[in-house]
Chain A
C-alpha cells in the first residue's frame, strides 16, 4: 500500500502533501540490489574492473552535474578536485603509521575533504560570476594545477605519479582488500552513499536555490539569496563528492598521475555528463555506464573507439540536447498513455535502417584506416567476423551499398516515424 504512494508518478502533489516520503525508495532499492548481485552475474575479473571504473565515473559525473545540471556552471577543469582528493589519499596510504590505524573504507572521507578544501579556495573567487567567466577561470585553474604536477613533485610525484599499497590499512572486519571483489563492494557502498547524499542535497533549500540561480540569478537575488554564495556552496559540495571519486580511484588503481588532473580528464567528465543528460538526476549515471562500456568494450574491438565516441557525443549534442536521460523521459507521456507499443515498429524500421547505415559507415571508416595505417603488405583485415582483402574493390562496394541502403531506409521511413510519434503523444492533450 505504501509502495503505491511512493511510486505513483502521476500524483506528485499528493506525495508532497503527505510529507511522509521525501525519497521515492523503489529505484534506490533496485540500484542497491543490483550493485549487490552484479558480481555474481559478471564474475570474471575484467568485468569487475569495468564495474569499479563505472562506479567511480558515476560518482564523479554526479558530482559534476551538481555544477552543470543543478547549478548551471560549466566547468572545464573539474578533474583537479577529484585528482587532488586522490593524490591526498595516496599520501595518506603512504603515511604508513597513520594509515595502519585507518580502516580503508573511511579513506574516501579524507579524499572528499581535500577535494572540498581545494574547491573552497578556488570557489571563493571563481563563483562570483557564472557563464563564460566561470568557465574560463575553471579552465585556467585546471591547467594551472595540472601544470603543477611536474613542478610540485613532492605532492604530485612528477611524471611517474604517486603509487601505494591499499592493503596496509587497518583491516576492516578482517577484510584487507587484497581482492578486486572486496574493492568492488567498498566502491559500491560509497556509490550508494554518495548518490543518496547528492540526491538529498538537491532537495534541500540550497539545492532548490541552486536551480533558481541557474534559471534566473537576478530574480534569486531579489528573493534574498546571493547568487554568488549559492554558486559557491554548490561548488564546494561538488568538490567534496569529486574528491570521494578521486579517493576511490586511488584505492582501486593504487596509482595517481598527471592524467588524473589534466584537461582531457575534465573534458571526459563533461562529455559523460552531457551524454547522459544534465536535466535529470539519473542522467550522469546512464552517461557514465554507457561511456565506460564504450571505452572498455569498444576499445577492445577497434583502435578508433574515441572517434566513434566523439561522433556519439556530437550527435547527442545536436539531436538530443537532453542526453540519453532526456531521450528516455521523452517517452514517458506515450508510456503513460499505453501507446509506447505503437512506436516499436516505426522505430525498428527507421532506427534499424539508421543503425545498418552507421555500421556500414563504420566499416568504411575501418577499411580506410586499415588501408592507410596497416603495415605494408598486410592486406588482410577482419570486420564483423569476416576476413577479406582490403585492397580489392568488392568489400568497398558492399560496405558502400550497405551504408547507402541503410541511410536510405532511415530517411524514407523517418516521416512515418515522426507521424507515429505525434500520434502516440497527441492523445495526451485530450486526456489532460
Chain B
C-alpha cells in the first residue's frame, strides 16, 4: 500500500538560509501523525511546502504516490489534501453556514457552475448543516463568522478543513492560544471528525500530541531527528537532549 504522504530529501531555502534541510518522512493511511519541535524548527514551513503554498527547493512530496511538484494549492486540495492554518483563516464576512457550504461546493461537483442555485440544493444545505452539527456550531449558523469567539472560529476552521471530504487532513497548531477547557474540547472534536482519515498535525501542546497521535516526528533545525510511537519518542535520548526533556516528563 502506498503511503498517504511521502516526503523524500525535502529541502527549502529562503535566500541563503536553509530552513528545511533534507526531510524524509512516510505517513501511512489512517495514521495520526504529529510533528513537534522547538520554535523556528521549520514546522510551519514544512506544512506550507506540502500544501503547495511555497515551492520546495529540492526533494519530492508524494500524495497517494502522486508527485505534487509544481501543483497549486487548489489542485492539491482536489487530490484529497486539506489543511487548516495556524492563524485563523476563515471567511469573516460570510455567515458560518456559508463558510461551510462554500467548502462543500467543489467536492460536491459544482466546480465553476453559474446556473444552479445553491439555496435549492438539498444535498448542499443538509451537508453543511451536518458539518455544523459535528462542530457544534448549529446555534451560530446565521451569524457572520467574524463575530464568533476564538475557540468557535478554530472549530469552524476545522469544519471548513474537513468539509470537502479530503482524506488527508493537515492541522497547523489547532489549539494555539486556547485555554485548557477549550483545548480539551477541540481535541475531542478533532478525534471525532478525523475518524478513518490520515491526520498530520503540528502542535506545541504535548498533552494534545500524546493524546491524539499514534506517530510522532521531531523536527529540529529543519531535520527530523526521530520518528516513532509516542513511547519510543519519549524514550529517545536525542529527543530529550534536543528539546523535550522536562516537557515530556510532565506527561
Contact = CB atoms under 8 A, between A and B. Distances in A.
Q: Determine the main DSSP class of B at the interface with A.
A: loop
B119 interface: yes
Contacts of A12: 142
Contacts of A204: 113-118
Interface residues of B, number: 40
B116 A219 contact: no
Nearest to B170: A222
A216 interface: yes
B91 A222 contact: no
B191 interface: no
A19 B115 CA distance: 16
A215 B94 contact: yes
Nearest to B126: A17
Given A19-B119, A211-B91, A212-B102, A206 B114 contact: yes
Given A212-B91, A215-B92, A221 B114 contact: no
Interface stretch (B70-78, B173-181, B233-241, B242-250): B70-78
Contact of B90 (A13, A22, A216, A229): A216
Interface string A210-230: 011001101111111111011
B98 interface: yes
B114 A223 contact: no
Nearest to A218: B89
Contact of A233 (B74, B105, B112): B112
Contact of A226 (B72, B83, B89, B90): B72
A203 B73 contact: no
A201 interface: yes
B113 A206 contact: yes
Given A212-B91, A222-B51, A16 B125 contact: yes
A228 to B, nearest CB: 9
A224 B163 CA distance: 11
Contact of A203 (B51, B119, B164): B119
Contacts of A22: 117, 119-120
Contact of B122 (A19, A201, A221, A230): A19
Interface in B141-167: 141-142, 160, 164
B101 to A, nearest CB: 7
Interface residues of A, number: 33
B106 interface: yes
Nearest to A229: B112
A203 B78 contact: no
A205 interface: yes
Contact of A208 (B89, B107, B118): B118
Contact of B74 (A17, A207, A208, A224): A224
A242 interface: no
A223 B89 contact: no
A425 to B, nearest CB: 15
A22 B121 CA distance: 10
Interface string B95-114: 00010011101110011111
A334 interface: no
Contact of B98 (A200, A208, A216, A230): A208
A205 B122 contact: no
B90 A205 contact: no
A193 B160 CA distance: 35
Contact of A223 (B53, B102, B113, B116): B102
Nearest to A210: B114
Given A13-B141, A19-B122, A216 B91 contact: yes
A88 B130 CA distance: 50
Instruction: Choose among B90, B105, B113, B160 the residue with the greatest number of A CB atoms under 10 Å from its CB.
Output: B105
A205 B83 contact: no
Given A204-B118, A223-B102, A224-B74, A211 B94 contact: yes
Interface in B20-79: 51, 53, 72-74, 77-78
Instruction: Choose among B85, B93, B141, B160 the residue with the greatest number of A CB atoms under 10 Å from its CB.
Output: B93
A17 B77 CA distance: 29
B198 interface: no
18 contacts: A22-B117, A22-B120, A205-B105, A206-B113, A208-B105, A211-B93, A215-B91, A216-B89, A216-B91, A219-B160, A220-B74, A221-B74, A222-B74, A223-B102, A223-B103, A224-B74, A224-B105, A227-B74
| Minimum-distance CB pairs A-B, first 7 | A224-B106, A205-B110, A206-B114, A221-B73, A215-B91, A224-B77, A205-B113
Given A211-B94, A212-B91, 16 more contacts: A12-B142, A19-B119, A204-B114, A205-B105, A205-B116, A206-B114, A209-B105, A215-B91, A218-B73, A218-B89, A219-B85, A219-B90, A221-B74, A223-B77, A223-B102, A223-B160
